[in-house]
Amino acid sequence: MTNRIVRALVLAAAAAVVVVPATGASAVSTDVDCVDFTYQEDAQDHLDGQIGDPDRLDSDGDGIACETLPYRPVSAAPALASTPVYRFWSPRFDNAHFFTTSAAEASTIRTTDRNWIDEGVAFSAWLPVAGDCLGATPVHRFFSDRFKTHFYTASAQEQQHIAATDRNWTYEGVSYCATTTPVTGSVPVYRFWSPVFSKHFFTVSRSESHQLRTTDRNWSYEGIAFYVLP
Ligand SMILES: [Ca+2]
């Protein structure tokens, strides 16, 4: 994404969806050590936002931070079927990304809509049963005709806040199911916000997340949104 030519259409961030405050580390070192983190994943998340390793969290240089720290407990995966989530990118709509679990919808976009570039399967997620995630967490989907983008959140609080207060967004229902903590075989989904594009971006790719966090000032890291399957 970062090498793509983009239009710097600056929209007021206040006009976009209300989001939780950014929690991600910037590329600026804050002088922390492994003992400052409870879990390895937290140290890794910090390292992934750095250029190089200014805090020396990866002394052996293998890209893995603080190997001596415990990993966050992993629960059993939801007893739900999984499905591929297809990802599309639109340079026309200011770097919008679109995700869908519908193979039919993906096929229609590929064959009829030249606004969107097929980026393949982004990750897999669990399918609700009759709209119910059965113990997993619903990922809600919104669409904004004003901002020409979709928004996804696993936070019921955020979903209710947007639905009740922000007329820029139309609620479209549950897109798929995820978890808010790691489960067997899961990977984190990293969430970004761009006030330049008035868009959110989601990726399970650590390398893509690292690249955005360290080289692309159009995007602010907001942290791990939820967990899905690779
Ligand atoms: Ca290491």
Question: Ligand 1: distance of its center to the CA of 55 in Å?
Answer: 12
Q: What is the pLDDT of residues 40-98, one digit of tens each?
A: 999 999 999 999 999 999 999 999 999 999 999 999 999 999 999 999 999 998 889 99
72's tokens: 């966050």
Is residue 23 scored above 70 in pLDDT? no
Is residue 15 scored above 60 in pLDDT? no
What is the pLDDT, as a whole number, of residue 29?
Answer: 52
pTM, full prediction: 0.84
Amino acid (1-letter code) at residue 94: D
211's tokens: 């690249």
Question: Ligand 1: distance of its center to the CA of 102 in Å?
Answer: 39
Question: Ligand 1: distance of its center to the CA of 184 in Å?
Answer: 23
Percent over 70 (pLDDT), the chain: 87
What is the pLDDT, as a whole number, of residue 16?
Answer: 40
Question: Ligand 1: distance of its center to the CA of 74 in Å?
Answer: 21
d(C-alpha 13, C-alpha 16), whole Å: 5
CA nearest neighbour of 78 among 154, 140, 130, 135: 135
Q: What is the pLDDT of residues 132-163, one digit of tens each?
A: 999 899 999 999 999 888 999 999 999 999 99
Neighbours of ion ligand 1 (CB under 5 A): 58, 60, 62, 64
135's tokens: 């113990």
Question: Ligand 1: distance of its center to the CA of 209 in Å?
Answer: 19
Average pLDDT taken over every residue of the chain: 88
CA distances to 7, 16, 84 from 196, in Å: 9, 11, 30
What is the pLDDT, as a whole number, of residue 95?
Answer: 87
Is residue 10 scored above 90 in pLDDT? no
Q: What is the pLDDT of residues 82-95, one digit of tens each?
A: 999 999 999 998 88
CA nearest neighbour of 177 among 108, 125, 216: 125
For residue 160, the SS3 value is: helix
What is the pLDDT, as a whole number, of residue 135?
Answer: 87
What is the pLDDT, as a whole number, of residue 114?
Answer: 94
d(C-alpha 13, C-alpha 15), whole Å: 5
Question: Ligand 1: distance of its center to the CA of 39 in Å?
Answer: 14
What is the pLDDT, as a whole number, of residue 153?
Answer: 95
77's tokens: 């995966």
Question: Ligand 1: distance of its center to the CA of 82 in Å?
Answer: 32
Question: Ligand 1: distance of its center to the CA of 229 in Å?
Answer: 24
Question: Ligand 1: distance of its center to the CA of 57 in Å?
Answer: 7
CA nearest neighbour of 66 among 92, 84, 48, 90: 48
For residue 165, the SS3 value is: helix
d(C-alpha 112, C-alpha 44), whole Å: 41
- In this structure, the number of other CB atoms found within 10 A of the CB of residue 179 comes to 21
Question: Ligand 1: distance of its center to the CA of 52 in Å?
Answer: 12
Classify residue 19 by its DSSP letter: -
